[in-house]
Amino acid sequence: MNLKGKQTFQTDAQAIWNILMDTNKLAAITPGISKLERIGEDQFNATSDIKIGPVKGSFSGDLFLVDKKEPHAFTLKIKQESKIGNADATVRILINEVEDGNSELSFDGNAKLSGTLARTGQRVLTGVASSLTKQFFRGLEKELDSIRETIPLEEIKEKPVSTKKRQNIFVQFLNWLKGLFKS
């Protein structure tokens, strides 16, 4: 199964990197994770509970971080086992700074599933993965927001204002105008 996704955040790469490397914060924002424990330099033990349609399982196993290039890239190797089958995934994560001081977090990888998980869940899994990804990005956004709140006011002022947000307001205004003409 292919895993792919990306999202732009109003922050620099380092801020995202810091959250992703913080075990507690990562555990808090990743959906389904009930325990995440650092057991080595770049090795973690994770326990998660996931329910996918009719398939429900408690997973546990190791996560490894390899090929780290702070703050722009790392590869996550995941080996999770459960009674309903095992998942074996390798995902490359990139954090690239894009225009206006924003950063794009993207990932691309592959998961190999086995057992009941493969047999009864595969078709719905893609949908589930994208919904979990959205939850993760929302969690990350929230985490970034909470950091921003604690940053001194003058620093925020120096931050570039998101053009995306401005565009959104502009688009909304245009739509409102169009609406007026239609009625």
Partner 1 sequence: MTYIGKSVKRVEDRRFTTGKGQYTDDIKLPNMTYAYILRSPYAHAKINKIDTSAALAMDGVVAVFTGEDVKDVGGVPCGWQVNFKNGDVMKEPKHPLIAHERVLHVGDNVAMIVAESKSIARDAADLVDVDYEELDAAVDAFKAVADGAPQVHPEAPNNMAFDWELGNPKEEVAEALSNAAHITELSFVNQRLVANAMEPRSAIGDYDDAYGRHTLYTSSQNPHLTRLLLSAFVLGLPEHKVRVVAPDVGGGFGSKIFHYTEEALVVYFSHKIGRPIKWTAERSESFITDAHGRDHITKAKMGFDAEGNIVGFQVYTHANMGAYLSTFAPAVPTYLYGTLMQGLYTTPKINVDVTGVFTNTTVVDAYRGAGRPEATYMIERLMDLAALEMGKDPAELRMQNFIPPFDGVNQEGYATQVALQYDSGNYEGVLRKALDLAGYSEMRAQQAATSNGKLVGIGFSTYIEACGIAPSAVVGSLGARAGLFESAQVTVQPTGKVTVYTGSHSHGQGHETTFAQIVADKLGIGIDDVEIVHGDSDRVAFGMGTYGSRSLAVGGSAIVKSVEKVLEKGAKIAAHLLEASPDDLEFGAGKWTVKGSDKSVAFGDVSLTAYVPHNYPEGMEPGLDFSSFYDPANFTYPFGAYIAMVEIDKETGKVDLKRFVAIDDVGNVINPMIVDGQIHGGLAQGIGQALLEGAIYDENGQLINGSYMDYCMPRADDFPSFEIGRQHTPCPHNPLGVKGAGEAGCIGSTPAIVNAVIDALWKAGHQVKDIRMPLTPERVWKAMNN
**CB 82 → partner 1: shortest distance, Å?**
10
Nearer to partner 1, 60 or 106 (CB): 60
Least distance in angstroms from the C-beta of 123 to partner 1: 5
CB 1 within 8 A of CB 125: yes
Q: How far is the CB of 175 from partner 1 (least distance, A)?
A: 30
CB of 117 to partner 1, least distance (A): 8
Q: How far apart are CA 31 and CA 140, in angstroms?
A: 11
Q: Which residues bind partner 1 (CB under 8 A)?
A: 53-54, 83, 85-86, 88, 112-116, 118-120, 122-124
Q: Which is nearer to partner 1, 63 or 113 (CB)?
A: 113
Least Cβ distance, residue 119 to partner 1 (angstroms): 3
* Strand ranges (E), 29-156: 33-40, 43-52, 55-69, 73-81, 87-97, 103-113
Q: Are 138 and 28 in contact (CB under 8 A)?
A: no
Residues 6+ apart with CB under 8 A from 159: 10, 101
Return the number of the residue (73 or 118) whose C-beta is nearest partner 1: 118
Residue 87 C-beta: closest distance to partner 1, Å: 11
* Euclidean distance between CA atoms 145 and 178, whole angstroms: 33
C-beta of 94 vs 129, nearer to partner 1: 129
Long-range CB pairs of 63-69 (<8 Å, 24+ gap) are 63/36, 66/42, 67/92, 68/42
Taking the least distance from each CB to partner 1, the nearer of 112 and 165 is 112
Residue (112 or 134) nearer to partner 1, CB: 112
Residue 54's CB: how many other CB atoms inside 10 A? 9
